[in-house]
Amino acid sequence: MGQQRKLAVAFGLAAALTLASCTEKAADTGEDAYVASPVNWRMTSTYPSTLLQLGTMGKRLETDLATISGGDIALKFFEPGVLAPPFETFDAVSYGAVEAGWSTPGYWAGKEPALQLFSAVPFGPAAPEYLAWFDFGGGKALFEEIYHKHNIHSIICGMTPPEASGWFKKPINSIDDLAGLKIRFFGLGGKVLQEVGAAPQLIAGGEIYQALELGTIDATEYAMPAVDHKMGFFEVAKHYYFPGWHQQSTMFELMINLEAWNKLSATQQKQINATCAANVRYGISEGEALQPDALIALQAEGVELHSWSPEILAELELAWNKVSQELVEADPTFAKVWASLSAFRSKYSGWSDRGYLKD
C-alpha cells in the first residue's frame, strides 16, 4: 500500500510539473495556457441559407467551424427574421442580443458611411487588389477601428466575383435613359445612379422579384448571373447588363459581439480567422466556376446580354468621382478610409499595369 501511495505521489508530481511546463511554454509563445470553454453562439443572417453564395457561404461556417475546432465552437445559423430582421443585424450584434451575424458591410451606411468601402467600390478593385489593401495596406486596422466603436468585431469572411449591373425591361442606349428609372440598387453604386437621375431603392432580396413583376421598380441589380438565375429575374426582365461597374468584387462579413469575441481564447480566435480565410477562398473560386453555365442558362431563357457602352461607363465614372468627393467632405471617417484605399490603389497600379496581361 505504501508503494502505491509513493507511485501516486510520483505521478501527481510529474503531472504537475508537466502542466507547469506547458503553461510556461504557452506564456512564452502567446498560446492559450488553458482549455477555453466551448462556444455556443447564435448567428443571425441577412441572407437565407439557400441563397447561392450570399447565403450558402454563411451556412458553411456552421459545419466548418465545428470541424476545425473539433466541436469546440458551435455557430448556429439562423434564417433572416428568426432572431432579427435582416437590416437590424448590426444592432442585434452590437447590443449583444445575438453573438454573431452574417452580412456585408455595405448595408450599414446609416451607421457608418465608411463601411461601404469594405463591401464594394464603384470602379473599384477586383478581389486580389481588394484583399491586398485590406490585409496588408491598412484596411483591416481601419475596419476594426470603426466596428469596435460599436461593440462589434467583424471579420471579412467571404468574397464573390464581379456582379452584373442590372436587369432592365428595355434597353439602355444612353445615360439619359436612366433618368427617373426606379431601380433596386445596392451601396455606393446606388448613389452614383442617383447622381445621374435614377431613383435607386434598397430592397431586401426576397422582395425584389415581386417589386419588379408588379412595376414597383422598373429595374434591378442583385448579384452574379448564377444567383440572379436562381432568383428568376429573367422571367420579368430580359435585358441584362455588364460589367458590374459598381461591384467588381464584394466582401462579406462575420460580425461578432466584441465582448463575446474578447472572451474567446487565442486558439478559438485563430480558428475563426482561419475558417473565414478559407471561406474567402471558397467564395471566389466557387463564384468564378458558377458563372459560365449560368450565362448559358440565361441565354436559353431568351435573355439578351448587353455590355455598357464606353460613353455610358465614362459618365458613370464621372458621377462616382463626384459622389466620392462629396462623401469625403461629409464624413471624416469615410475620408480616412478613402485616402487609404486610394493611396494603395495608386501605388498598386505600378505593379498591376506591368504584371498582368491586358484584355
Q: Long-range pairs for 76-82 at CB < 8 Å and ≥24 separation?
A: 76/40, 76/41, 76/42, 76/43, 77/43, 77/45, 77/49, 77/102, 78/42, 78/43, 78/44, 78/45, 79/45, 79/48, 79/49, 80/44, 80/45, 80/46, 80/47, 80/48, 80/204, 80/206, 82/44
CA gap 187, 259 in Å, rounded: 29
Domain assignment present for residue 2? The answer is no
Same domain, 267 and 131: yes
User: Distance between CA 91 and CA 150 in Å, rounded?
Assistant: 9
Residue 154 is predicted with a pLDDT of 98
Regarding whether 97 and 239 lie in a shared domain, the answer is no
Q: Are residues 278 and 156 in the same domain?
A: yes
- 58: closest CA among 48, 67, 68? 48
Same domain, 63 and 199: no
The reported pLDDT for the residue numbered 101 is 98
92 in a domain, yes or no?
yes
Same domain, 316 and 175: yes
Contact residues for 187 (Cβ-Cβ < 8 A; gap 6+): 106, 109, 116, 119, 120, 246, 247
**Each residue's pLDDT tens digit, 212-226:** 999 999 999 999 999
Residue from 160, 192, 163 nearest 178 by CA: 192
- The domain that contains 118 carries what CATH number? 3.40.190.170
pLDDT digits (tens, 9 = 90+) for 280-338: 999 999 999 999 999 999 999 999 999 999 999 999 999 999 999 999 999 999 999 99
Do 204 and 105 lie in a common domain? no
Per the CB < 8 A criterion, the answer to whether 116 and 185 are in contact is no
Q: Is 317 inside a domain boundary? A: yes
6 in any annotated domain: no
Q: What distance in Å separates the CA atoms of residue 322 and residue 341, rounded to the nearest whole number?
A: 17
pLDDT tens track for 253-272: 999 999 999 999 999 999 99
Q: Which three cell numbers stand for residue 198?
A: 435614377
Q: Are 254 and 276 in contact (CB under 8 A)?
A: yes
Residues 57 and 173 in one domain: no
Predicted confidence (pLDDT) at residue 27 exceeds the cutoff of 60: no
Q: What is the DSSP letter of 146?
A: H
Q: How confident is the model at residue 205 (pLDDT cuts 50, 70, 90)?
A: confident
Say yes or no: 239 and 122 in one domain: no
**Is residue 276 located within the same domain as residue 139?**
yes
Question: Smallest Cα–Cα separation from 183: which of 214, 208, 210, 163?
Answer: 208
Cα separation, 335 vs 189, whole angstroms: 18
Q: E strands of 161-285, at which residues?
A: 166-168, 182-184, 199-201, 219-220, 239-242, 250-257
Please tell me whether residues 179 and 312 are part of one structural domain: yes
pLDDT (tens digit, 9 = 90+) per residue, 105-116? 999 999 999 999
Task: Look at residue 57 and tell me if it is in a domain.
Answer: yes
The answer on pLDDT for 38 being more than 70 is yes
> How do residues 110-151 score in pLDDT, each as one tens digit?
999 999 999 999 999 999 999 999 999 999 999 999 999 999
Domain count, the chain: 2
Q: Does 123 lie in the same domain as 61?
A: yes
In this structure, is residue 85 part of a structural domain? yes
Residue 326's domain comprises 166-246+304-331
pLDDT bucket at 37, cuts 50 / 70 / 90: confident
CATH number at residue 204: 3.40.190.10
Is 205 inside any structural domain?
A: yes
